[in-house]
Amino acid sequence: MTPPPETDHARWFAEEMHPHETSLRSYLHGSFPAVRDVDDVVQESFLRVWRARAAQPIESARAFLFKVARHLAIDHLRHDRRSPVETVGDLARLDVSEERPAVPATVSRNEKIQLLIAAIDDLPPKCREVVVLRKLKFVPQREVALRLGISEKGVEIQLTRGLARCREFLRKRGVQSLFDDET
Q: Per residue in 34-53, pLDDT tens? A: 888 888 888 988 888 888 88
Check residue 123 and report its DSSP letter.
S
- CA atoms of 81 and 34, how far apart (whole Å): 10
pLDDT in tens, 104-149: 444 577 788 888 888 999 999 999 999 989 988 888 999 999 999 9
Is the pTM of the predicted complex or chain greater than 0.75?
no
Q: Are 73 and 30 in contact (CB under 8 A)?
A: no
In the chain, what are the domain boundaries?
Answer: 5-82, 107-172
Name which residue leads in pLDDT, 69 or 6: 69
Query: Is 107-172 assigned to CATH 2.40.110.10?
Result: no
Beta strands in 16-134 (DSSP E): none
Nearest of 132, 138, 130 to residue 157 by alpha carbon = 130
Nearest of 107, 122, 104, 101 to residue 167 by alpha carbon = 122
- CA atoms of 12 and 46, how far apart (whole Å): 12
Over residues 159-176, mean pLDDT: 89
